[in-house]
Amino acid sequence: MIPKKIIILDYSVDREETATTKKHLPENISITSLFIDTEDSFPDDLISKEYTHIIHTGSALSINKDAPFTQKAVEYIRQAKDKGVSQMGICYGHQLVVRALIGKEAVRSSPNGFEAGWGQVSFSPKAMDLFNVKEIEKVWQHHFDEVVQLPEGSILLATNPHTKVQAYLNFEHHLLGTQFHPEFNKIDGNQYFIKDRKFIEKNNYNVDEIIKSGPTFDVANTFFDFFLNAI
Residue 2: what pLDDT?
78
> Mean pLDDT across the chain, nearest whole number?
97
- Does residue 208 lie within any of the structural domains? no
Bridge partner residues of 88 (DSSP): 55, 176
Contact by Cβ (8 Å): 115, 163 = yes
Q: What is the pLDDT of residue 231?
A: 87
| Residue 167 pLDDT exceeds 90 | yes
- Say if residue 164's pLDDT is above 90: yes
Answer whether residue 46 shows pLDDT above 90: yes
How much of the chain exceeds pLDDT 70, in percent? Answer: 100
Q: Who's near 204: CB < 8 A, 6+ residues apart?
A: 114
Q: Is the pLDDT of residue 54 over 80?
A: yes
Check which CATH number belongs to the domain holding 109 and give it: 3.40.50.880
Residues 6+ apart with CB under 8 A from 128: 134, 135
For residue 26, what pLDDT band results from cuts at 50, 70 and 90?
Answer: very high
Instruction: Determine the angle formed by the axes of helices 70-83 and 92-101, rounding to 10 degrees.
Output: 70
pLDDT at 183: 98
Residue range of the domain that includes 22: 5-113+144-186+219-230
Split into its structural domains, the chain has a count of 1
Residues 6+ apart with CB under 8 A from 54: 6, 7, 9, 80, 85, 86, 87, 88
pLDDT of residue 139: 98
What pLDDT digit, counting tens, does each position of 5-25 carry? 999 999 999 999 999 999 999
pLDDT tens string 102-145: 999 999 999 999 999 999 999 999 999 999 999 999 999 999 99
Q: Specify if 80 maps to a domain.
A: yes
- In sequence order, which residues have a C-beta less than 8 Å from that of residue 75 and are 6 or more positions away? none
pLDDT (mean) for 182-210? 97
Q: Is residue 125 part of a domain?
A: no
pLDDT at 116: 98
Q: Measured on CA atoms in the order 179, 108, 88, 226, is the torsion positive or negative? A: positive
Residue 1 has pLDDT above 80, yes or no: no
Establish if 89 belongs to a structural domain.
yes
Please indicate, yes or no, if residue 87 is contained in any of the structural domains: yes
Residue 108 maps to a domain: yes
Q: What is the pLDDT of residue 20?
A: 96
Per residue in 135-162, pLDDT (tens digit) is: 999 999 999 999 999 999 999 999 999 9
Residue 204 lies in a domain: no
Mean pLDDT of 176-180: 98
Phi and psi of 35, rounded to 5°?
-85, 120
Does 29 score more than 80 pLDDT?
yes
pLDDT for 76 equals 97
Task: Answer whether residue 31 is part of any domain.
Answer: yes
